[in-house]
Amino acid sequence: MLKKSWLVPLAILSCSLILPAAFRKEDVRVFKLDNGLKILLLEDHDIPNIALYTFYHVGSRNERPGLTGVSHFIEHMMFNGSKKFGPGEFDRKMEFAGGSNNAFTGDDMTGYTDWFPAAALEPMIEMEADRMQGLLLDPKVLESERGVVASERRMSVENNNDSILSENVRATAIMAHPYHWDVIGWMSDIQGWKRDDIMNYYRTYYSPNNAVLIVVGDFNSARALELIKKYYSGIPAGPPPPAVTTVEPPQMGPKNVVIRKEAQAPSFEMVFHAPNCTSPDYCPLAILDLVLMNGQSSRLYRRLVRDEQLAINVGGGISETIDPQLFTFSVKPRPGADLNKIEAAIEDELGKVKSAGITEQEYQKALNMIRGQFYFGLQTISGKANQLGAAEILYGNFETLFTQMDKYAAVKREMIQEATKKYLTENNKTVGKLIPEGGVK
Amino acid sequence: MKTVAKRIVFAVILALAAGLAYGAFLPSPEKLTLKNGITVYYLKSTDLPLISFRMWIKGAGYVDEPAEFEGMASLTSTLLLKGTTSRNADAIAEALDFMGARFSVSAGDEYAGINGESLAEHFPKLLEIAADCLRNPSFKEDEFVKERKTRIDSLKAVKDNPGAAIRYYFQKAYFGSHPMGHLSSGTETSLNKLSVAEVKGYYQKFFRPERSIAAVVGDIDKAKLLELLNSTIGAWNASGAAAPLAPVPALPKPKGAKLLLIDKPDATQAYWVLGAPGYAVGDAMTPQATVLNTLFGGRFTSWLSTELRIKRGLTYGASSSFQTWTAGGLFNASSYTRNEKIGEMLDITFGLLKKVRQDGFTPEEIESARNYIQGQFPPTLEANASKATAYARLAFYNLGFDYYDKYLAAIQNVSQATAKDAAGKLIPETDFVLVVVGKAADIKQQLEKFGTWTERKITDPDFQ
C-alpha cells in the first residue's frame, strides 16, 4: 500500500559474514581505463545471459531550482538517440538481439540496467558507450518525452495521496540541501526545462570518469575487457563535476505540514534529519529502522496495525544516501483514524528506545534480517550487478559490500539507543498529515 | 533510497514465464512422495545457502469459493498465520522475522500458494511453523475481527489510487457474477457477512493435503529434506470430507461494448483497462499469442508503447497482456493519460486493435519478438524460487516438465501467418469491456463517441 510504483528497491542493505563460493571479492575483476572509467567484471555462467549495469555519479542531489528532475529526464532521453543510434534505435536493436533494459534515477545515482543473451555483448557495449557522450536531445523527441515524464509525475505523485504528502514533508524538513525536492522534480520545472540547460547538465555529469561499468554473467573477462576498451577508450575524460557544497543547517524546532484534499483515507508521515550512509551513526539507525518497522513483529507494526488498529501499514526507515537525509515513519492510517494518536504512539515508542534501548532478541533479529536480505539479493546476475554498483556509488568502493555485515555486527546495542537520542528528537522532527475532505466516511 | 525508473516493468514475459521455461535452465526435478501422499518436486542447488519452498493447494483459491463467501480464500490464508493451538499470532510473526525469512500464504485464483524462503540453517524451523499453521490453526474470533477490519479499511483506501482501483472495477465489470469475478480481497459487503465459524468450515473443506503439491529448490540433501518434510507437511492430515470442486464454468464472453465510467473528481489523469476473451493455460495458441502480445503491448517498443508513449508522449506506461486459467483466459490492454487526452488515446488504441487484426506484423517484427522471448527467458528461471514456482505450476496444470522446451521451440516456428491468425482470434473488434476511472466532468464528452456508458462514483459502495 505504501509502495510507490516507481520505487526500484536497490536492496543495498548489504552484509558479509560467510560468503558463498558463488560471490567472492576475489572473483570481481577491477579495471580502470586511462579516461577514468572504472570497470567491474564478474563471470557467472549459470545462465547464458549477461547483466550490464552502468552507474553514473549523478542524481537529483546535483540539481538546482529550475532544473529539478533533470537527472531523471536525461535518463529518459538516453533512450532517445545518440550519435550513432537514432531515436528509438537503442531499444529496437536491443530487443531484436533478445535484450531488455530499464534505468532508474535516485537522489545520488543514475543507473542503466541491460539484460541480454550472451551473444549480444558487443552491440550492447557499443550502444552504451555511444550514449555516454553522444546524446542528441532531438528537440521534437524532447518535447514528446517531456509529456511522458509529466504523465509519470501525475501517476506517481499527483494521483497518489501518500506521495503528495511525502513530497511536501521532504520539502519542509529539508530546507537548503537539494534533497529538498523529489527525484521526479517539480511540475513547472518539468514543463520548463530548456534544451541547452539539459545538454550542459548532461555534459557535466556523463563522462567516463564519473561512471562505473559492471558486467555480471556469461562472458569471458578478457574478451569483455577488450570490447569495453574498443568502444570506451576513445571517450575523453571530462572535468570533475562540481561538488555539492550546500550543507543542511540544523533544524531548531518541530515543523508541521497539513494537506487537505479529497480522499478516502488520510496519510501520515513523520521524519527526522538523519546521518549519511558513511556516518558511524548510520548502521545503528538502520538497525533501529528494522526493529521499529520491518515485519509484523516490529514494534510499530504491532502497535499501530494490530494492537491499536490505527493503521493499515507502516513503512519507511533511514535513507542510505551520500549526504545526510531523513529517517522516515510512513504510516497508512485507516479511514477515520485519529492522526494525533498515531503521532503520539510513535513518540511513545521512540521514548521507550531512548530510555530502555532495544532487546538482545531484537538486535539479533535485525542482524538476521540484514543477512537474509543480502543473500536474497545475490540470487541473480542482476542482483549481484546492482549491489556492486550501488556500493561503488555510495561508498566509492564495491569492496565495502563484503564488509558491510561486519559493520553491522560491530554495532553495540547501546549505540542504537544513543543514536536514537541524538537524531530522533523533538527539534529535529517534521510531521505531515493529509486530512481527507469529502469521500466515504 | 527513492528512485524513479524509465518505464513500467513489462511483467508480461515474466508473468507468462511463471509458466515458461527451457530444458537447459529447468532441470527435471526429483519426485518425492510424503507419507500423507503429497508430491514434492525437488532440486538440489548449492550456489547459495538458501532454500525455497512452494506449495499449491488446489481449490483454495477464490474461483472455488462458494458464491456467498467472496474473499474467504484470502482471508483464511492470512488467518492461518494468526495463531495455532500452540503459538499466537505474535509468536508466529516473531519466529518468522527472527530468521529473516520470507513466508506467506496467499489465495490465488485457482489455488492457495504457500511461499517460503530462508537461509538453509533456518529451513527446518520455517517448515515446522508452516506445518503448524496448516495443521493447527486456531482461528480466534479477535484475530478474525481484526483482519477483516484491516481488509475493509484497505479496500476503502485503495480508491485513493485510481491505477490500483481500476483493476478491481475491471474484474467486476468483466466477470460479473462468474466466480472469476470474486475479488481476492473480498468486498466490504461480502466481508461483513463472513463469520469465524464459516472460516473454520471453509478451511476444513477447502485446505486439503490431498489436493496439494509442493516444490523445494535449494541447499539441502534429499534424505534430510524427506525426513524434514515427513515430520512437518507430511504429517498434515485433514479431517472430514473435502468440498467437491465443480469445474469452473466457461468464462463470460462480452457481447458488444460494455462501457463503465467511474467518476473520481480529483483525478488529474484518466485510467483505462480494456478486456476481451483470451485462451486457456496450455492452449496450442500460446506461442503465437505470446509473439502477438510481445509486439502489440508486451515490451517497450510494442505498438501500444510506441504510439502512446514514445511517439506522442501521452503516457508513462501502456501495455497489454494475456492471462490464462484452466477455464479460459483474458486479453487486456491498459494505459492512462491527462484528462483532456483520453479521447485521443482511446481512438489511437482502437486504431491499433483494428490494424493488428487486419495487417498483422512484418517478418522483421516477428523475428524480433522471437529473439526477445528467447533472450529474456533464462533469467525468469534463474533463482531457486523461480524454479520452485515453475515446478509447482507445471505440475499443477499437468503441462509436463518439458513444457518449456516445447514452448520455446514453438516460439521459433511462429510465423507472420500464425501470429496474424492469433490476432484475428484474440484481438477484440466489437465485443469487449472497457472501464475508465477519471474526472467525469472533464472526460465524459470525449467518451461519448465510443457508446453508452454506465456511470458510477468512486465513493459508491464496493466496486460495482
Number of domains in chain A: 2
Question: In the prediction, which pLDDT does A404 show?
Answer: 85
- Give the list of residues 6+ apart from residue B409 with CB closer than 8 angstroms, or none: none
Distance from CA of A176 to the nearest CA of B (A): 19
Instruction: Please give the ipTM for the structure prediction.
Output: 0.91
Confidence of residue B13 (pLDDT cuts 50, 70, 90): very low
Residue-wise pLDDT for B270-304, tens only, equals: 999 999 999 999 999 999 999 999 999 999 999 99
CB neighbours of A303 closer than 8 A, spacing ≥ 6? Answer: A345, A349
Q: Residues of B with CB below 8 A from A5's CB?
A: 8, 163
Residue B32, H or E segment: strand B30-33
A71 and A106 part of one domain: yes
- Model confidence at A438, pLDDT cuts 50, 70, 90, reads low
Question: What pLDDT was estimated at residue A21?
Answer: 54
CB-CB neighbors (< 8 A) of B376 in chain A: 98-100, 115
Report which DSSP code applies to B256: S
Q: Which domain holds residue A117?
A: 25-232
Q: B313, A117: Cβ pair inside 8 Å?
A: no
pLDDT at A5: 28
φ and ψ of A149, to 5 deg: -70, -35
What does the pLDDT look like over A378-424, one tens digit per residue? 899 999 999 999 999 999 999 999 888 899 999 999 999 999 999 99
Contact between A91 and B269 using a beta-carbon 8 Å cutoff? no
Which residues in A lie closer than 8 A to residue B87 (C-beta atoms)? none
Residue A377 lies in a domain: yes
Smallest CA–CA distance from B458 into chain A, residue: A439
Smallest Cα–Cα separation from A186: which of A213, A167, A200? A167
Give yes or no for a contact between A17 and B100, defined as CB atoms under 8 angstroms apart. Answer: no
Average pLDDT over residues A294-311: 97
Tell me how close the Cα of A219 comes to any Cα of chain B, in angstroms: 15
Inter-chain CB proximity A380 and B383 less than 8 Å: yes
Angstroms from A262 CA to nearest CA on chain B: 7
What b/e sequence results for A257-270 when a residue is b if at least 16 CB atoms lie within 10 Å of its CB, and e otherwise? bebebbbbbbbbbb
What pLDDT does residue A22 have?
64
Q: What does the mean pLDDT of chain A come to? A: 93
A257 CA to chain B: closest CA distance, Å? 20
Q: What is the pLDDT of residue A24?
A: 87
A411 occurs within a structural domain: yes
**Average pLDDT in the A173-183 region?**
98
Q: How far apart are alpha carbons A286 and A267 in whole angstroms?
A: 24
**Claim to verify: residue A333 and residue A414 sit in the same structural domain:** yes
A177 in the same domain as A82: yes
Average pLDDT, chain B: 94
The 3-state DSSP composition of chain A as helix, strand, coil percent (nearest 5) reads 45, 20, 35
Cell numbers linked to A172: 519542509
**Which of A155, A180, A276, A384 best probes binding to B when mutated, by most B CB atoms within 10 angstroms?**
A155
Query: DSSP code of B374?
Result: H
- Predicted local confidence at residue A441, as pLDDT: 40
pLDDT of residue A15: 36
- A372: in domain: yes
What confidence category does residue A23 fall into, taking pLDDT thresholds of 50, 70 and 90?
confident
**Domain-embedded: residue A8:** no
Mean pLDDT, residues B125-143 taken together: 98
Model pLDDT, residue A6: 29
Residue B23: strand, helix, or coil: coil
Q: How far is CA B448 from the centre of its chain?
A: 33
My answer on whether A217 and A303 are in the same domain is no
Q: What is the pLDDT of residue B24?
A: 59
Domain boundaries, chain B: 26-235, 257-457
* CA distance to partner chain A, nearest, from residue B154 (Å): 7
Residue A6 lies in a domain: no
A113 at interface of B, judged by CB pairs closer than 8 A: no
Chain B nearest-CA residue for A365: B98
What are the pLDDT digits (tens) for A231-240? 999 999 999 9
Residues 6+ positions from B358 with CB-CB distance below 8 Å: none
Q: Are residues A81 and A122 in the same domain?
A: yes
Each residue of B107-123: pLDDT tens digit?
Answer: 999 999 999 999 999 99
In the stretch 177-196 of chain A, residues with CB closer than 8 A to chain B read 182-184
Tell me which chain A residue has its CA closest to the CA of residue B295.
Answer: A95
Which residue is closest to B460 within chain A, CA to CA? A440
CB-CB under 8 Å, B119 with A375: yes
pLDDT confidence of residue A405: 87
What pLDDT does B47 receive?
87
Q: Which residues of B touch A261 (CB under 8 A)?
A: 266
* CATH, domain B257-457, list 3.30.70.20, 3.40.50.150, 3.30.830.10, 3.90.1150.10: 3.30.830.10
A1, part of any domain: no
pLDDT given for residue B11 in this prediction? 41
Q: Which residues of B touch A75 (CB under 8 A)?
A: 4, 6
- The domain made up of B26-235 has a fold known as Cytochrome Bc1 Complex; Chain A, domain 1 (3.30.830)
Stated as kind and residue range, the H or E segment containing A174 is: none
Nearest CB to A148 within list B10, B163, B316: B316
Look up residue B371 and give its three cell numbers: 529473439
Cβ atoms of A386 and A215 closer than 8 Å: no
The alpha carbon of residue A426 is apart from the nearest alpha carbon of chain B, in Å, by: 24
What is the pLDDT at residue B3?
A: 56
Cell triple for residue B423?
490476432
**Cβ(B242)–Cβ(B211) below 8 Å:** yes
pLDDT in tens, B71-103: 999 999 999 999 999 999 999 999 999 999 999
pLDDT at position A20, please?
53
For residue range A241-265, what is the model confidence (pLDDT) as tens digits? 999 999 999 999 999 999 999 999 9
Considering chain A, what percentage of its residues have pLDDT values greater than 70? 94
**Residues A275, A209 share a domain:** no
Q: Report pTM.
A: 0.93
Distance of alpha carbon B219 from alpha carbon B176, whole angstroms: 46
Instruction: Please tell me the distance in Å from A99's CA to the nearest CA on chain B.
Output: 6
Residue A5 lies in a domain: no
* A221 and A266 housed in the same domain: no
A61 and A210 in a single domain? The answer is yes
Question: pLDDT tens across B303-330, in order?
Answer: 999 999 999 999 999 999 999 999 999 9
Segment A122-135 shows an average pLDDT of: 97
Does A435 contact B at CB distance below 8 Å? no
pLDDT above 90 for A68: yes
The answer as to whether A2 is a domain residue is no
The confidence band for B5, taking pLDDT boundaries of 50, 70 and 90, is low
**CATH code (residue A225):** 3.30.830.10
A with B: how many residue pairs have Cβ under 8 Å apart?
A: 254
- The vertex-A374 CA angle with A411 and A9, nearest 5°, equals 105
